Structure 1
Amino acid sequence: MQIELEPRDQGAALVNVQGRLDAAAAPTFKQQITDAISQGNVRLALHIAHVSFMDSTGLGALVSALKAARKANGDISIIAPSPQVQKLLKLTAMDRVFRVFPSPDEALQQLGGRSS
C-alpha cells in the first residue's frame, strides 16, 4: 500500500491511497492518518480510486481515522471509491457515515481546503 499526503490550506489535506487496505496494511494506514491529524491536517479527503481491495480490517481503520479526525474537530471524506470498496461501504451502511465525492476538487471544497 502507498499513502501520499498533500497538505492544503486551513488544515485540509488530500490523501492518495493505492493498493490493498486489508489486515496487513491497516495498521500502517491508521498510523499515517493519525500522524497527519496530529500534525494539524484534521480535514482529510481520502482519494481511494486505486484501492483495489478493502476488507473489514481496512474498513475499521477508516472508521478509526474518522473518529480521530472528528475528535480533533475535523472530518474525513472519501473520493472515488473503486467498485469493490463502494460495495463494501454500501453493504455496511458506511456510505451513510462517510461523505463520498466523485473528485478531489469537490471533496476539498466541502472540507474547506483549496483544491489546487
Structure 2
Amino acid sequence: MNDESSDLIPVPTRYARTYRVRQATVVEIAGEIDLGSAHGIHPHLDAAALWPPPLLVVFDLGPVEFIDCYGLALLVRARRRVLDRGGRTAMVCTHPPTRRLLAMTGLDGVFRPLPTLDAALDAEL
C-alpha cells in the first residue's frame, strides 16, 4: 500500500476499523450501529467511498450486536456513495437479528449479505 492510500484509512475506533484486503476496502463495524456510535463509524464509511475505482467496499457486520434505522441509513448512504463512484459493495452478516431487520426493511435484496469475508470478496456482485 502506498503512502497516499494509507492516508485514506481512518484511525480505528471502538465502533469501526478499515483495512485493505485483496484489492478491497473492508469496513468492519462492531457493537451497535445507531446515532450514538455514528461518530465512530461515519469517517470509516466516508473514507471507503474515496478509494479510486474500480473499488469494492465490504461492510463487515460480523461483530455487530444491534442496528437501528439510523444505522441502516448510514449503510445505505455509504453504499450509494460507492456506487456513484463506479464501485461495488458487499456485506458480511450472520447475526440473525440483523439479518431479520435487513429482510423486514427489504435491504437484504439490496445488500445481499454473505456469511464470510472470503465469500464477499469472491462474490460476483
TM-score band (shorter)? 0.7 to 0.9
- In structure 2, the partner of 1:65 is 78
Give 5+ residue unaligned stretches, structure 1: none
* Greater strand share, structure number: 1
Q: Which one has more relative contact order, counting CA pairs under 8 Å at least 6 apart?
A: 1
Q: Give the TM-score, by structure 1 length.
A: 0.83
- Is the aligned partner of 1:15 residue 2:27? yes
- In structure 2, the partner of 1:110 is 123
**Offset of residue 8 of structure 1:** 2.6
- Is the aligned partner of 1:76 residue 2:94? no
Residues of 2 paired with 1:46 and 1:58: CA distance?
12
Aligned-residue RMSD, C-alpha: 2.0
- In structure 2, the partner of 1:44 is 57
Q: How many residues align?
A: 111
- Whichever of the two has the greater Rg, that structure is 2
Q: Give the TM-score, by structure 2 length.
A: 0.78
- Structure 1 stretches of at least 4 aligned residues deviating more than 4 Å after TM superposition: none
Residues of 2 paired with 1:98 and 1:67: CA distance?
11
Residues of 2 paired with 1:38 and 1:91: CA distance?
30
Change in CA separation of 1:27 and 1:111 when aligned onto 2, cut-off 3 Å: farther
**Percent identity of paired positions between Structure 1 and Structure 2:** 25
